Amino acid sequence: MNNSCPNCGTVYNITPQLIGKSTSCKKCGAQLVIDASGLQLAGGGDSSVGPFWEILKRHPILLISFWVMIGTRIVGSIVLCGMTLFIFIRFVFIESVR
């Protein structure tokens, strides 16, 4: 049966004789246990839960989306501060001079 590493997705051919053995992934080095359902992370950890940056590194489109979101927030903040400063200067200083 074919099964993939729950950490990085590398596909392995698992035979029934290997059930109960443990190994490590050749690509990412994760400790794996082979059971009847296939490859599992050693220690019973959930593969979908992990450090935020590890998830982003494994999924490049998420990494790109993350930086686009951060850039949009930064540009939005700069524009908002500039508009606020412009309105403050216009209505407080210029209108008070007239």
3-state secondary structure 3-30: EECCCCCCEEECCHHHCCCEEECCCCCC
Q: Kindly state the tokens that stand for 74.
A: 């930064």
6 pLDDT tier (thresholds 50, 70, 90): confident
Residues 54 and 86 in one domain: yes
Supply angle C-alpha 93, 94, 98, rounded to 5.
115
Residues 62 and 95 in one domain: yes
Span 47-69, pLDDT tens digits = 454 577 777 777 788 888 888 99
Residues 64 and 27 in one domain: no
Residues 27 and 39 in one domain: yes
Supply angle C-alpha 11, 13, 15, rounded to 5.
145
Residues 96 and 56 in one domain: yes
Report whether 36 contacts 54 (CB < 8 A).
no
Domain residues for the domain of 58 are 50-98
Span 30-40, pLDDT tens digits = 888 888 888 88
Give the number of domains in the chain. Answer: 2
| H/E run at residue 63 | helix 60-88
CATH of the domain at 40: 2.20.28.160
